[in-house]
Amino acid sequence: MERLFAPWRIRYILAPKPKDCVFCAAPKESRDRENLLLYRGETCYIIMNRNPYNPGHVMVCPYRHIPSVEDLTDEEMMESMKLVNLSIKAIRKSMSPDGFNVGINIGKVAGAGIAAHLHIHIVPRWDGDTSFMPVLADVQIVPEALEETYDKIKSAIEEIQQTRD
């Protein structure tokens, strides 16, 4: 078996795990960059995934702690899709992907890492972004620091918002 050395992962492994829901906690704080919170809407917000499948992987979450789409109000449903749209526009503008995966995992058996709080994944994709690493080594390479990606997407969101006003 081949071993991959990733010493930075030990910080995550040894760090205390939050007792509270991270999707409830992040918008309550005023540390948006540290929490990777990109945009605050009225009923929902956009946040980057700390463990992305690809660079630019973001999520749209309602502020309310609900587990499924059937629990969304009409306002949350409308705004969540508007924020999915805004996310795609901002990622397209700042990172030029060739496509996107957009999805919702409802329940742990469906793959939801945080099943108790609904979130919509927006994952940018590039032609050829699946290499031998995920296939043979079950490893995904993310070539850019989260903070750099945050700055790019945040700037694009702000530009898009300015053109709307």
Active-site positions read 119
Q: 76-85 burial, b for 16+ CB within 10 Å, e for fewer?
A: beebbeebbe
Q: Which of 17, 19, 13, 23 is nearest to 48 (CA)?
A: 23
Question: CA 91 to CA 20: how far, in whole Å?
Answer: 29
Question: CA 122 to CA 46: how far, in whole Å?
Answer: 10
Q: Within a 10 A sphere around the Cβ of 165, how many other Cβ atoms? A: 4
> DSSP states of 23-36 as a string?
HHHGGGSS-HHHHT
